[in-house]
Structure 1
Amino acid sequence: MTCPHAAAGAVRTYPFGDRVDLELDPAYAELRKTEPVVRVRMPYGGEAWLLTRHADVKKASADPRLSMHAGADRDVPRAAPRALDSVGLMGMPPEAHARLRRLVSRAFTARRVAGLRPRIAEITHGLIDSLVADGGPADLVQRLALPLPTAVICEMLGIPHDDRHIFRAFTEALMSASRHTEEEVAAAAEEYADYLRGYVAKRREQPEDDLLSALIEAQDEGGQLSGNELLMLVGGMLIGGHETTAGQLAGQIALLLGGDRTHWEELCARPALVPSAVEELLRIVPLWSSVGPSRVATEDIEIGGVTIRAGEAVVYSLASANRDEDVFEDAGSLVLDRAANPHLAFGQGPHFCLGAPLARAELQCALEALTTRLPTLRLAVPEGELAWHEGMLVRGLVELPVTW
C-alpha cells in the first residue's frame, strides 16, 4: 500500500486503510491540510481525484458537470467492484432522475414525516417493550436498529414485513465489496426482481392506501412511470429506506455507550438535546467504508485550485468533509449541543438523500425512547470486542450486545 505520507503530488493507493468501525484513517486529516484534491489509485478502474475538504465536497456534490450518469455502465475508477448501473436512479440522466425524484419526494417531506412520527414512535416503543420483556443481554442490531426502519419503510410502501428476508438478502449482496461473488449478487438480484414483479401485480389488483399503490396509479393512469422504473423506485426505496439508517443507529448507540458513557448520561439528563445530538452523531459516525459512487467530469472544472479534465473520475469522502477543522470547531469531538452543524451526511445537490427527514425521525425516536426508558443501558462486551462487517461498502455492526 502506498504510504499516506507520500510526497505531495504522488498517486496514493486508495483506500488508505481497512477501517470498518467508527474511526477514520489519519491520512484524511493530513490531506485536508496538505493536498485536499489528490490523485488516488482506486481498487477498480484506475485513477481518480479524491476530495477531502468540506467546501470542495459541497461544491462537487452540487455541480452538474460532475455526473454519475456519465460514468454509469462504464469501467470508471471506483471503490465498488460493480460499475454504477444506468438503470438505477443515481445513474440515470439528469432529466429522468429529477422526474422520478419528484414522483416520490412528496412521501418524504418534513411535513409528511411529521405525520408519521407517532407511528414511528409506536413501533419503536413496541420493539423496546419486547426487548425489556425478554431481558438482557440482547443484540440491539436485531432488536431495534434493523427492525425499526425496516418496519417503517415496509408500512409506507405497503410491503409485508414478513417478506423482509427477500430484500435483506439482496441488500447484503448489493452492498458487498468483497463478501459476495458476482454470481451471488446476480442471483439475489433476480430473486428480488421476481418478488417485486409478483407483488406489484398483486397490489395492482388490490390497491390500498400506500405509496406502492400510488406509484402503480402513476404508471397506469398518468403514464409517468415505465414498468422498469416502477420496480427500480420501489426496490431502491426498500433498500435505501432501512440499510443506512440501521447502520447509523447501531453506530450512534455504540459511540454513545462506549468509553465513559458521559455523552449517554448527558442525553438521559437532557432529552431536549436529542435533535441536535442526532445531527452531531450523523456528522461523526461514518456511513461509507470508503467513498460512494464515482462521478465523471463532463468538461474541465476547477476544484480546490486543481483542474480536473473532462472524462476524469472524482470521488469524495463525506466522512472527511464532516471532520473539516475549517468548518467545525473541535471537529474530531462529539459535541451534542453543537449549534452550527452544516454536515454533509445526507449529501448535497441533486443526489441529496431523499429519505433524510424519515431517517432523522427514526433516529430521534429511537434515542428518545432508549434514553428515557433504559437510562442504564450499557455495552454487554468491551467496546474493543464489537464486531464490524467486513467486505461491505457501508459500515455496520454485526451485532450490538447490550444490557441494562
Structure 2
Amino acid sequence: MSDAETTGTCPRQHRPPLHRVVVGEPGPPRPAELPDGSHAWLVSRHPDVRQVLSDARFRRSQLYEADAPSLSAVPDLVNNPDLMFNQDGSDHLRLRGTLRRAFTPRAVARWQPWIAAIVEECLDSLAGAEPPVDVVAAYTLPLPVRVISRLMGLDDEVRSRLRHWSEHAFSDGSHDGREVETVLAEFAEFGAGLLARRRREPGDDLISSVVRAADEEGGIPETQLVQLVCGLVVGGHDSTMTMLGNSLLYLLGERPECWERLGADEPAAEALAERLLHLMPLGDDRGTARHAAEDVEVGGVLIPKGSVVLADCFLANRDPDLFPDRPFDDLFAPLEGPGLAFGAGPHYCLGAWLARLELRLGLHRLAARFPGLRLAEPADGVQWRLGTTSRSPRRLTVTW
C-alpha cells in the first residue's frame, strides 16, 4: 500500500488512517479559508512554518479579539483566551514559567522508573485477558490516563471523567454548543477546586508545584491557572492515547516486520517513536493559527498585517527539500532534520519529552511482552473515534 495517498472529503466513519492522509504539497504561502469563510493564509514549507511559529510578530492572543474571525464552530478549550497556548510575550512566559522546570528532559528522565512500572502493570493486566482483546480499552487509553493521574495526583473518580471532559474540550464542532459550554464550566470548576485543594494541602504532584511557582511569581490571573490545569489534565493523556492507537494500527496492519526489532532493541524503538511522531498528525485539522501583528514577508510572499496565518506542521514534515520522498521506508532511521510534531518557537509543546517517553516505552514494552501480537480484524474496517480534533481507533481488536 502506498505510503502517501491523497484523499479528499470522506464520510465521517470511512476515513483513511492518518499516516496516509496527505492533502496537497508544501509550497509558497497561499490563500486559504477559515471555518467561517474568512480569508487566511496557508503556510506549508518547513522553513516557512518554523518562521511563523517562532517569529514574535505572529501571535495567538490577537486571534481572540472582539472583531477576529471565528476559529471554532463551538466553544472549546483550545480556543479559550485564558489558555496558556493563547498568551503571548510576558504573559505567556510568566504562565509557562510555572511549568518550566517540571518538563525538562532531566525531570522527565527521573519519572521513567514509575512510568515504566505503570507500563508493566498495564501489560500484566493485558496478559491476564483472554484474546481477542480491544487494545484501546485495555492499554492505549489506561496507560496515559494512569500516568497523568499519578503526575497530577488525581483520584479514581476523576479518572473516570477524563474522557468526557476531553471529548468536549477538544470538540471538532460536531457537539451542541450549549452542551460544550456546560461541560467546560463543570471542568473549570474542577480545575479551580483542584488548585484550591493544593494550596491548602500541597504535595509532590505537578499541580502543587504549579501553585507554588505561580504564588512566587505573582500577578497570574486565576482564570489562566485554571485553564492551565484543565489543559494539562486532558492534553496530558489525549495526545499519547491517540499516538499509541494510530501507531499500533499502522505497525500491526502494515509493518509487522518491524515488530520484532521494536521489542528487542530499545534504542531502535526510540528512533521509531520519533519517526512516527514526525509522520502522523493527531487529527485531520492540522493548521495551527497565528495573527500577523504587522506586515511580514514569509517565503518571498508578503503577509499583510491583520491576516490569520495557518501553519501546517504536517505538510512541513513532508517537505521534500528536507525529508525524503518515501519517509516510511526505514522506520528506524534517524530523522533527516528537525521535526515539527511538537511545534516550534515559544509555544513549543512543554510535554514533548513526556510524550516521547510514553510512546517509546509503551510500544517497546508491548512488542517485547507480546512478540506475536497481531490484529484480529482487518485494518481497513477500523471504527474511528470521532467528534474531537484528534482521531484514532475507537476499538482495535488484537490477538496473540
TM-score (norm 1): 0.89
Structure 1 letter corresponding to 2:150: E
Return the alpha-carbon distance in structure 2 between the equivalents of residues 273 and 260 of structure 1: 15
Q: Report the aligned-residue RMSD.
A: 2.2
Structure 1 residue 279, shift from structure 2 partner: 0.6
Could you tell me which of 377, 383, 388 is aligned with 1:381? 377
Return the alpha-carbon distance in structure 2 between the equivalents of residues 286 and 87 of structure 1: 25
Residue in 2 that maps onto 1:70: 62
Residue in 2 that maps onto 1:111: 106
2:399 paired with 1:403: yes
Structure 1 residue 357, shift from structure 2 partner: 0.6
Aligned length: 386
Could you tell me which of 181, 192, 198 is aligned with 2:176? 181
Q: For 1:134, what is the secondary structure of its paired residue? A: coil
Residue in 2 that maps onto 1:329: 324
Q: Which moved more, 1:197-206 or 1:242-251?
A: 197-206
Structure 1 letter corresponding to 2:396: L
2:126 paired with 1:131: yes
CA-to-aligned-CA distance 1:266-301 (integer Å, 9 cap, x gap): 423544301111110111111131224421101111
CA-to-aligned-CA distance 1:297-319 (integer Å, 9 cap, x gap): 01111112211100011002211
Could you tell me which of 179, 195, 202 is aligned with 1:200? 195
Q: Flag the 1:20–1:189 CA change in 2: closer, same or farther, 3 A.
A: farther
Residue in 1 that maps onto 2:359: 363
Residue in 1 that maps onto 2:34: 42
Could you tell me which of 146, 149, 161 is aligned with 2:144? 149
Return the alpha-carbon distance in structure 1 between the equivalents of residues 16 and 197 of structure 2: 40
Q: Flag the 1:43–1:334 CA change in 2: closer, same or farther, 3 A.
A: farther
Return the alpha-carbon distance in structure 2 between the equivalents of residues 25 and 115 of structure 1: 36
* Unaligned residue ranges in structure 2 (runs of 5+): 1-6
Structure 1 letter corresponding to 2:365: A
Q: Flag the 1:128–1:78 CA change in 2: closer, same or farther, 3 A.
A: farther
Could you tell me which of 216, 241, 245 is aligned with 2:240? 245
Structure 1 residue 362, shift from structure 2 partner: 0.5
Structure 1 letter corresponding to 2:378: P
Q: Flag the 1:300–1:270 CA change in 2: closer, same or farther, 3 A.
A: same
Superposition pairs of residues 4-403 of structure 1, within 5 angstroms: 17-18=9-10, 19=15, 21-29=17-25, 32=26, 35-74=27-66, 76=68, 80-82=72-74, 84-220=79-215, 223=218, 225-259=220-254, 261-339=256-334, 340-403=336-399
Return the alpha-carbon distance in structure 2 between the equivalents of residues 226 and 41 of structure 1: 34
Contact 1:321/1:344 (8 A) holds in 2: yes
Contact 2:98/2:214 (8 A) holds in 1: no
Structure 1 residue 167, shift from structure 2 partner: 3.4
Return the alpha-carbon distance in structure 1 between the equivalents of residues 329 and 219 of structure 2: 45
Q: Flag the 1:311–1:142 CA change in 2: closer, same or farther, 3 A.
A: same
Structure 1 residue 82, shift from structure 2 partner: 4.5
Q: Flag the 1:327–1:123 CA change in 2: closer, same or farther, 3 A.
A: same
Q: Which moved more, 1:140-149 or 1:299-308?
A: 140-149
Structure 1 residue 224, shift from structure 2 partner: 5.3
Q: Flag the 1:256–1:183 CA change in 2: closer, same or farther, 3 A.
A: same
Return the alpha-carbon distance in structure 2 between the equivalents of residues 390 and 75 of structure 1: 31
Q: Flag the 1:302–1:45 CA change in 2: closer, same or farther, 3 A.
A: same
Return the alpha-carbon distance in structure 1 between the equivalents of residues 202 and 354 of structure 2: 24
Structure 1 residue 223, shift from structure 2 partner: 2.8
Contact 1:49/1:314 (8 A) holds in 2: yes
**Percent of residue pairs identical:** 36
Q: For 1:316, what is the secondary structure of its paired residue? A: strand
Structure 2 letter corresponding to 1:351: H
TM-score (norm 2): 0.90
Structure 1 residue 148, shift from structure 2 partner: 1.6
Return the alpha-carbon distance in structure 2 between the equivalents of residues 76 and 331 of structure 1: 40
Q: Which moved more, 1:380-389 or 1:155-164?
A: 155-164
CA-to-aligned-CA distance 1:81-123 (integer Å, 9 cap, x gap): 2473221111123211111111112111100110100111100
Return the alpha-carbon distance in structure 2 between the equivalents of residues 24 and 336 of structure 1: 15
Contact 1:179/1:390 (8 A) holds in 2: no
Contact 2:58/2:293 (8 A) holds in 1: yes
Return the alpha-carbon distance in structure 2 between the equivalents of residues 25 and 253 of structure 1: 17
Q: For 2:41, what is the secondary structure of its paired residue? A: strand
CA-to-aligned-CA distance 1:334-377 (integer Å, 9 cap, x gap): 52222334211000001100000100111111112111100111
